A and B are shown apart, each in its own frame.
Chain A
Amino acid sequence: MPAVGQNVLRKEGRGKVTGAAKYVDDLSFPGMLYGSTIRSTIPCGRIRSTRPEFDPSEWVVAGVPDIPGKNVIALIEDDQPCLADGRVRHVAEPILLLAHADREALAGAKVAVDYEPETPVYDPAASPRVFKEILIEKGDLGKGFSRAARVVEGEYRTGHQEQLYIECNGVIAVPENGGITVYGSLQCPYYVHKALVVLLGLPPERVRVVQTETGGGFGGKEEYPSMLAGHASILALKAGRPVKMVYDRVEDMLATTKRHPSIVRHRTGVASDGRIVAMDIDVLMDGGAYLTLSPVVLSRGVLHATGPYRCDDVRVHGRVVMTNTPPNGAFRGFGAPQTLFAAEVHMERISEALEMDPVRLRELNLFRPGDTTATGQVLGADCSAAEVLREAVARTGFDARRQALSGTNAGIGLSLFFHGSGFTGGGEVRLASRASLALTPTGARILVGSTEIGQGTRTIHAQIVADALGIPYENVEVSDADTACVPDSGPTVASRTCMVVGKILQNCALEMKARLGSLSPARYLELHGPLVVTREYEKPAELEWSDETYRGDAYGAYGWGCNVAEVERDPDTFEIRPVRLTAVCEIGKAIHPTLAAGQIEGGTAQGIGYAILEEVVFRDGAMANAQMTNYVVPTTLDTPPIDVVILESAYPHGPHGAKGIGEMPIDGPAPAIVNAIRHMGVDLRQIPATPERVMEASCVSP
């Protein structure tokens, strides 16, 4: 029986359930020290001096001079130092590193830092520095607006969001073999590898990165582990002993990345029949103090800014700018939840302005196969915007519910969205990801740099390989993500692990099957010795993309989604309670239906938190509510029943037709919920929709 499409047991499930799985803080090495970080307490300024308030002879203290290579975290542009060099640009910026054998001694170790403060910038609109600017132009905007009967304008705002993985960031650096080995909770071992080679000035073969069992990532362990691994490695090399650094929750929330806040402005020309004839969109994102991944977050943001709607005359102008706050970074959705929130709330406002049914307005404008996106990409037969909308509307009895709830303290709203699978534009070509498959006496072992972070990587990869080889799922093993033995399969991000890496593995398996011919694996090994098949990403011939002009096929494939949210408002306290959420997602093919539904439920719940609860409070450049007691995320009691519907419309270049799924579910809940609130006549254009904001938008004073 084929494994794909079956709910097989998770590869790592038994270890996690029995407690046998080893997370980084479960590991210990002989002679291991513990490390800690002295961080900036001011948002911006020069460092005059640092003075340890303890006897340094008993400690390992490391600063910039102890960095063997270049003092940067190598990523896109090498602008972020590993340790502040003379000046700090955000609160919690690392300045000095300490290590000691006694973990509790670290907590009491104080270092006096004398600063010369400078004036910080917190308002992205007033930022003096633009990290990246992107312009997408299609058609003639002036001509488009000249055909408009109505012009609808609006500004939409989203806040920071914390990933809140259950396991905080942590690594152990072990000096060995004339280099360094890092064990850690991380998403992208090869990102860490690349950063350490530059930072430590070591040849690549002397740096080894091993992912330990990882308690969640959500993007929060995409780039930050490079920083943390750097710190632990600097200390370990200086001490000549292993060094463990595991953040507690406060440090993790204060110092590591969050979702980019956004301000998105829409100006839309609409013909009298409801057809959109011109779209002018301005996207502003707050990147924080260093560039890190901001250009790519902005890129995904602007590429989704129109929403899933066709329009001949479009301009999308995006900027991501510097502020003196900790750098914002990767978080599930990666820029798209921000711009899709704006697009879908704006769509609702257009329907209000035209007094047109919101479903009808969307039906009239949504992408259909053969339509072109803002970058000119011609959408294939798997474009399913109409199908997901139709399914969601029918399943929820949307029209009837909307009428029934009108004028009550309850509302129903929807959002229609899409999400590009894999890296943006030419990114996949540049990554040139590789995957390997090694023959074992009973089957095969998967060798990929893709990481299991709770989403099911090992399981779905093994399912794909098992079916391609025609062997039972149980006979496929998955190697640890250890750079000493797996190839660079690209980062585990961007909804690419199934569609892109899974496809490469499928090709490996098909090649292996051909090599085996009629021989059993054991017989083949006996006759021919070891067999390892390695394949690289193969760009589908028809994909064309230009990073210079932002024209062409932005993504290989898109997933399509429609959410319907029904909410209640407390008439006195203005609390918003989601009552029911319907999530229809078209994902090509559900390799493992239970894991796929889990991704949709989890992303939806996280999206509900983004919509109504989660607010990062910044004060003087620092997160003021950096604790789980006051950074509020939904519990199961706060999460309504989620009706998950999976539709499948195969993408020809995905394994079994699969597209990406990890990120898309978080795009829809916020606009669907805000549109449900709008259904009650509340003009809300900002999230989170806290009771205070809903009260204010309801034009009631406290």
Chain B
Amino acid sequence: MKTFTLLPVRSLLEGGRESAKPGSILKAGGVDLLDRMKEGLETPDRVVSIAHVPGHDGIEVGPPARIGALATLARLDSHAELRRVYPALADAAGGAATPQIRNMATLGGNLAQRPRCWYFRQAEFDCTKKGGAQCFALNGENRFHAIFDTDVCCCIHPSATAVALLAYAARVDTVGTRGKRSISIEDFFVAPREDPTRENQLAAGEVIEAVVLPAPAPGSRSVYKKLKEKESFDWPLVETAVSVSVSRGTIQDARVVLGSVSPVPRRARGAEKILAGARPSAELIARAAEAAVAGATPLSQNAHKVRLARVMVERALREILA
């Protein structure tokens, strides 16, 4: 790893300003960044650390909830009130990586981490995500890759909390050299078709400040489910977060989100349409799960992920509509 200067800053704005300078990069928990630096994917001269900026690790459950970008995954997992109101987010945070990593990893960093595609993660592959001409996984080893939106870059987005936040229709508040803004989580992510070299629309000098979750509708329930090869220290094969509100036996509103299936977390709108206005039944759940994976375009080695995604959605719906 290249030697660098560590520059601790005292505010997020200062962090944004300093990290926008040439050869600089922003660090919060530093978990993913350290990985990328060890792999030679990033070779900054200066690492601008916002890890110890005070006042941005708070969790106000509200609702609406406001969670500081520097809140760690471990705190999201252990916050009883957050877990009661937003269980999918607490489970997504608590199921990531390992206890050691969850103690360091922040919510903002979790949203902004880079994909785990093994071609992207090896410096010698000049893939589309690095600005190169081809996606090596497309015709290569792609068991762990996308089954939707595979035309430009078929990596999958690695953030578990993003999947839950999408189900809760969260917003991402940012601060930067050009001022503050609030972005819908759905608009926050950038699909490869738009720009394969990035996963979100954070501009140079812009830093995530907080995540805001609206109050859940009355009678709503939510759940996060995932499937991993090993039970710790692993990224999901597929994951889902589902939030539904039920009133007088009828589903009013449903948000079904699939993770680890596409370059950015994906709303399964087909499934949501089937659920909205319907009365829960085994048949409805099966139909919605089927719709969630309709139109999948699996690669040569990952057709099984279509099945896994369907099963995860089915199990999630069964759990909250039972």
Does B34 have its Cβ within 8 Å of any Cβ on chain A?
no
Select from chain A the residue with minimum beta-carbon distance to B116: A629
Q: For B81, what are the chain A residues with a Cβ–Cβ distance below 8 Å?
A: none
In the complex the two chains form, is A702's CB within 8 Å of B306's CB?
Answer: yes
Within 8 A of A (CB), among B278-322: 298, 303-304, 306-308, 311, 314-315
Query: B219-253, CB under 8 A of A: which get 1 and which 0?
Result: 00000000101111111000000000000000000
With contacts A619-B141, A702-B306, A702-B307 taken as known, whether A630 is within 8 angstroms of B118 at the C-beta atoms is yes
Within 8 A of B (CB), among A614-672: 617, 619, 624-627, 629-630, 632-638
Does B44 have its Cβ within 8 Å of any Cβ on chain A?
no
How many angstroms from the CA of A556 to the CA of B233 in the assembled complex? 42
Does B8 have its Cβ within 8 Å of any Cβ on chain A?
no
In the complex the two chains form, is B229's CB within 8 Å of A702's CB?
Answer: no
In the complex the two chains form, is A635's CB within 8 Å of B3's CB?
Answer: no
Give the shortest distance, in Å, between B254 (CB) and chain A (any CB).
21
Give the shortest distance, in Å, between B164 (CB) and chain A (any CB).
21
Does B140 have its Cβ within 8 Å of any Cβ on chain A?
yes
In the complex the two chains form, is B231's CB within 8 Å of A635's CB?
Answer: yes
- With an 8 Å Cβ cutoff, the count of chain A residues facing the other chain is 28
Select from chain A the residue with minimum beta-carbon distance to B229: A632
With contacts A104-B2, A638-B231 taken as known, whether A572 is within 8 angstroms of B40 at the C-beta atoms is no
The residue that A627 contacts in the complex, of B118, B227, B229, B308, with Cβ under 8 A, is B118
With contacts A692-B304, A702-B303, A702-B307 taken as known, whether A637 is within 8 angstroms of B231 at the C-beta atoms is yes
In the complex the two chains form, is B230's CB within 8 Å of A637's CB?
Answer: yes
Select from chain A the residue with minimum beta-carbon distance to B1: A104
Does B144 have its Cβ within 8 Å of any Cβ on chain A?
yes
How many angstroms from the CA of A617 to the CA of B233 in the assembled complex? 20
Q: For A104, what are the chain B residues with a Cβ–Cβ distance below 8 Å?
A: 1-3
Does A475 have its Cβ within 8 Å of any Cβ on chain B?
no
In the complex the two chains form, is B304's CB within 8 Å of A638's CB?
Answer: no
Does B122 have its Cβ within 8 Å of any Cβ on chain A?
yes
Q: For B1, what are the chain A residues with a Cβ–Cβ distance below 8 Å?
A: 104, 107
Does A248 have its Cβ within 8 Å of any Cβ on chain B?
yes
The residue that B227 contacts in the complex, of A41, A250, A575, A633, with Cβ under 8 A, is A575
Give the shortest distance, in Å, between B45 (CB) and chain A (any CB).
12
Does A613 have its Cβ within 8 Å of any Cβ on chain B?
yes
The residue that B308 contacts in the complex, of A573, A625, A630, with Cβ under 8 A, is A573
Select from chain A the residue with minimum beta-carbon distance to B301: A692
Give the shortest distance, in Å, between B200 (CB) and chain A (any CB).
21
Does B198 have its Cβ within 8 Å of any Cβ on chain A?
no
The residue that B144 contacts in the complex, of A250, A630, A635, with Cβ under 8 A, is A630
How many angstroms from the CA of A617 to the CA of B143 in the assembled complex? 11
How many angstroms from the CA of A360 to the CA of B234 in the assembled complex? 41
Give the shortest distance, in Å, between B101 (CB) and chain A (any CB).
12
Q: For B234, what are the chain A residues with a Cβ–Cβ distance below 8 Å?
A: 632
Give the shortest distance, in Å, between B42 (CB) and chain A (any CB).
13
Does B83 have its Cβ within 8 Å of any Cβ on chain A?
no
With contacts A624-B140, A625-B141, A702-B306 taken as known, whether A248 is within 8 angstroms of B38 at the C-beta atoms is yes
In the complex the two chains form, is B141's CB within 8 Å of A617's CB?
Answer: yes
Select from chain B the residue with minimum beta-carbon distance to A102: B3
Select from chain A the residue with minimum beta-carbon distance to B307: A702
Does A585 have its Cβ within 8 Å of any Cβ on chain B?
no
Select from chain A the residue with minimum beta-carbon distance to B141: A624
Q: For B3, what are the chain A residues with a Cβ–Cβ distance below 8 Å?
A: 104
Q: For B124, what are the chain A residues with a Cβ–Cβ distance below 8 Å?
A: 41
The residue that B118 contacts in the complex, of A572, A625, A634, A691, with Cβ under 8 A, is A625
The residue that B230 contacts in the complex, of A248, A625, A635, A695, with Cβ under 8 A, is A635
Q: For B17, what are the chain A residues with a Cβ–Cβ distance below 8 Å?
A: none
Q: For B307, what are the chain A residues with a Cβ–Cβ distance below 8 Å?
A: 572-573, 695, 702
Q: For B116, what are the chain A residues with a Cβ–Cβ distance below 8 Å?
A: 629-630
Q: For B144, what are the chain A residues with a Cβ–Cβ distance below 8 Å?
A: 630
Most chain B CB within 10 A, of A624, A630, A634, is at A630
Select from chain A the residue with minimum beta-carbon distance to B308: A573
In the complex the two chains form, is A635's CB within 8 Å of B232's CB?
Answer: yes
Query: B30-41, CB under 8 A of A: which get 1 and which 0?
Result: 000000001110
Does B56 have its Cβ within 8 Å of any Cβ on chain A?
no
Select from chain B the residue with minimum beta-carbon distance to A690: B229
Q: For B232, what are the chain A residues with a Cβ–Cβ distance below 8 Å?
A: 635-638
Q: For A638, what are the chain B residues with a Cβ–Cβ distance below 8 Å?
A: 230-232
Q: For A624, what are the chain B residues with a Cβ–Cβ distance below 8 Å?
A: 118, 140-141
Give the shortest distance, in Å, between A99 (CB) and chain B (any CB).
18
Give the shortest distance, in Å, between B202 (CB) and chain A (any CB).
24
Cross-chain pairs A/B with CB under 8 angstroms, 15 sampled: A41-B124, A107-B1, A248-B38, A250-B122, A573-B227, A613-B230, A617-B141, A627-B118, A630-B116, A635-B230, A637-B232, A638-B232, A691-B304, A702-B303, A702-B304
Shortest 4 CB-CB contacts between residues of A and residues of B: A637-B231, A572-B311, A702-B303, A635-B232
